[in-house]
Chains A and B, each alone.
Chain A
């Protein structure tokens, strides 16, 4: 994912455009005005909890669902009257939908039935497609005898052999076990780079979306909450809900002290006075209970007793809970100065630190110094 790729995608033509797309199931408003542009050659993810409309949106692009209003364009063409079997898209289904009565090769060749090429040429194409997904020589096998990972590869080969402009993937990795899933994530990225086709992936797994995508649209209740690259999404979530859905974020109440030239100064109990530039402010949170400061667990670290500054700011805290994870340890801390007005205990914040061999894990109740940087804070207001 070099800058080169990023710039190239930035300049690429739009492949899929959705404008004000609405979809109802009876009285249920499944898609509420989706506006979205996916660029050619992009690995794009639709991420959200179940029932957020991500699969509906994917099936709308594929042509399996009619929309009630709005426009869908693929490669600049209106899709209103184009049924799924005529669209330049192909799909990898969540269940893989491998035809159980056909062999692997027959499955892969399924979409070539109306292709004018000769049998030999088609067989050649099938061989190439199988080799591409790492199933060389599997052609004669019965489809129902395959493992989950192999089925997924057949589904990929079957869709890619038709050279679609867009490949749609509906939670393709959710049926695999963890090891297999991680392996397939890497393979899918490689495959996408190799064929250069636009991939649109639906997933509820934030990690998967962050690992694989060029850009991600986070969806809640039929609407896109944020559309950004993985780094921006993680570091600068647009709303508290997005922040909570992607990873863990600590929230602390903040008082806005002053605002000049876009720079906001806030007073945060436990952290003190902080100046935040415009790029660290998310302004899309009208219904939340007042301004809130958010930070990720790994942006705050415990300073070993014999060391001095590692980051610009330091605060004192007491360890409330220690959860050991092998490579990592999570600490729940009570920041000093964050106590309530009537002396209530401070609400704990969670930080995470990589375990270093030979260094002791501090115990519960220890008073420690923690270091952090104002640059890693986000203000929601």
Chain B
């Protein structure tokens, strides 16, 4: 009796949420549970045998090639995240602090437009820019600065990092911008008023308060880049696979679903662990939100 009014609201809420929830259960939870199961089974020819085994995980965690690709994926994502967030912060800061309020949405619009254009074509165009006969090389040779086209800018990790940093730029700018917008401007004046220099006020007031946005940006960039499939395929020329490419090869080209599943589950675990470590290290800043 005492809980009647609350139960009614809870019932209505649960009824409303059930269509999207059931959809996510069927299309997301069920498949992920399936690959989790597969990852403990044995591969047979063109089929999966129902024998429990740890072999797939032993493969995923000891095979030197897998380990190299995993480490490369982590390194590339970390580098991309660092570059993207570091490049994005000043832009977010400029738009939030220097642009007049009525023009802010125009700047955000300008920043987001490239993001809405075909991802594939954008990635490919970096190949055009960086390629052997690409924009940079042909311009430099045309101007007589170099005789031979530069080769170190394509088909290597640098070009992958550059392309991904470009692809995820708005994802980094927007959360930082939102965090900066939330900062009460009088706090900065208080910082100055209490005798700090401009730079120290930035360091002691602005930056800590912007941290939740920086952390959000970091996660938003890091998670999808570690699973990126297209860029290594197009820019890396297929010679520098990352974990997503490896999963695809195991699953489809080699048709070894249990090994592919173990790779996918391991990748998810790594992402989750990295995120948790990051959240743990930054829990001091995240408290700022409330």
A residues lining the B interface (CB < 8 Å): 23-27, 65-66, 68-69
Please, which residue of chain A has its CB at the minimum distance from the CB of B8? A66
* Contact call B8/A24, Cβ cutoff below 8 A: no
Known: A24-B3, A26-B6. 5 other contacts (CB 8 A): A24-B4, A26-B2, A27-B2, A66-B8, A69-B1
Q: 1/0 contact trace for B2-18 toward A, CB 8 Å?
A: 11111010000000000
* Contact call A66/B1, Cβ cutoff below 8 A: no
CB distance from A79 to the nearest CB of B (A): 16
Please, which residue of chain A has its CB at the minimum distance from the CB of B4? A68
Please, which residue of chain A has its CB at the minimum distance from the CB of B6? A26
CB distance from B143 to the nearest CB of A (A): 59
A66 to B3 alpha-carbon distance, docked (Å): 12
Residues of chain B lying within 8 A (CB to CB) of residue A26: 2-3, 6
A69 to B2 alpha-carbon distance, docked (Å): 9
7 contacts between A and B (CB under 8 A): A23-B5, A25-B5, A27-B2, A66-B4, A66-B8, A68-B1, A68-B2
Residues of chain B lying within 8 A (CB to CB) of residue A23: 5
Please, which residue of chain A has its CB at the minimum distance from the CB of B9? A25
CB distance from A254 to the nearest CB of B (A): 42
Residues of chain A lying within 8 A (CB to CB) of residue B8: 66
Residues of chain A lying within 8 A (CB to CB) of residue B3: 24, 26
A23 to B5 alpha-carbon distance, docked (Å): 8
A68 to B7 alpha-carbon distance, docked (Å): 12
A341 to B64 alpha-carbon distance, docked (Å): 91
Residues of chain B lying within 8 A (CB to CB) of residue A66: 4-5, 8
* Contact call A25/B6, Cβ cutoff below 8 A: yes
Please, which residue of chain B has its CB at the minimum distance from the CB of A66? B5
A65 to B9 alpha-carbon distance, docked (Å): 11
Residues of chain A lying within 8 A (CB to CB) of residue B4: 24, 66, 68
B3, B5, B6, most chain A CB atoms within 10 A:
B5
Closest 8 CB pairs of A and B: A26-B6, A24-B2, A68-B4, A66-B5, A68-B1, A25-B5, A26-B3, A25-B6
A9 to B163 alpha-carbon distance, docked (Å): 80
A26 to B7 alpha-carbon distance, docked (Å): 8
A26 to B8 alpha-carbon distance, docked (Å): 11
A65 to B5 alpha-carbon distance, docked (Å): 8
Please, which residue of chain A has its CB at the minimum distance from the CB of B7? A26
CB distance from A259 to the nearest CB of B (A): 43
CB distance from B12 to the nearest CB of A (A): 12
A24 to B3 alpha-carbon distance, docked (Å): 7
A110 to B57 alpha-carbon distance, docked (Å): 65
Residues of chain B lying within 8 A (CB to CB) of residue A25: 5-6
Residues of chain A lying within 8 A (CB to CB) of residue B6: 24-26
CB distance from A342 to the nearest CB of B (A): 48
CB distance from B206 to the nearest CB of A (A): 34
A293 to B3 alpha-carbon distance, docked (Å): 43
Residues of chain A lying within 8 A (CB to CB) of residue B1: 68-69
CB distance from B42 to the nearest CB of A (A): 51
B2, B3, B8, most chain A CB atoms within 10 A:
B2
A26 to B5 alpha-carbon distance, docked (Å): 7
Residues of chain A lying within 8 A (CB to CB) of residue B5: 23-25, 65-66, 68
Residues of chain B lying within 8 A (CB to CB) of residue A27: 2
A66 to B4 alpha-carbon distance, docked (Å): 9
CB distance from B5 to the nearest CB of A (A): 6
A23 to B4 alpha-carbon distance, docked (Å): 9
A66 to B2 alpha-carbon distance, docked (Å): 12
Residues of chain B lying within 8 A (CB to CB) of residue A24: 2-6
CB distance from B6 to the nearest CB of A (A): 5
A24, A65, A66, A69, most chain B CB atoms within 10 A:
A24
A25 to B5 alpha-carbon distance, docked (Å): 6
A26 to B3 alpha-carbon distance, docked (Å): 5
A381 to B28 alpha-carbon distance, docked (Å): 68
A65 to B8 alpha-carbon distance, docked (Å): 11
A69 to B4 alpha-carbon distance, docked (Å): 11
A25 to B2 alpha-carbon distance, docked (Å): 8
Within 8 A of A (CB), among B1-48: 1-6, 8
Residues of chain B lying within 8 A (CB to CB) of residue A69: 1
A31 to B8 alpha-carbon distance, docked (Å): 18
A356 to B2 alpha-carbon distance, docked (Å): 59
CB distance from A60 to the nearest CB of B (A): 11
CB distance from B72 to the nearest CB of A (A): 52
Residues of chain B lying within 8 A (CB to CB) of residue A68: 1-2, 4-5
Please, which residue of chain B has its CB at the minimum distance from the CB of A27? B2
Please, which residue of chain A has its CB at the minimum distance from the CB of B1? A68
A23 to B2 alpha-carbon distance, docked (Å): 8
A66 to B9 alpha-carbon distance, docked (Å): 11
CB distance from B65 to the nearest CB of A (A): 56
CB distance from B289 to the nearest CB of A (A): 26
A305 to B112 alpha-carbon distance, docked (Å): 81
Residues of chain B lying within 8 A (CB to CB) of residue A65: 5
Residues of chain A lying within 8 A (CB to CB) of residue B2: 24, 26-27, 68
CB distance from A297 to the nearest CB of B (A): 39
CB distance from B148 to the nearest CB of A (A): 66
CB distance from B3 to the nearest CB of A (A): 6
CB distance from A64 to the nearest CB of B (A): 11
CB distance from A227 to the nearest CB of B (A): 25
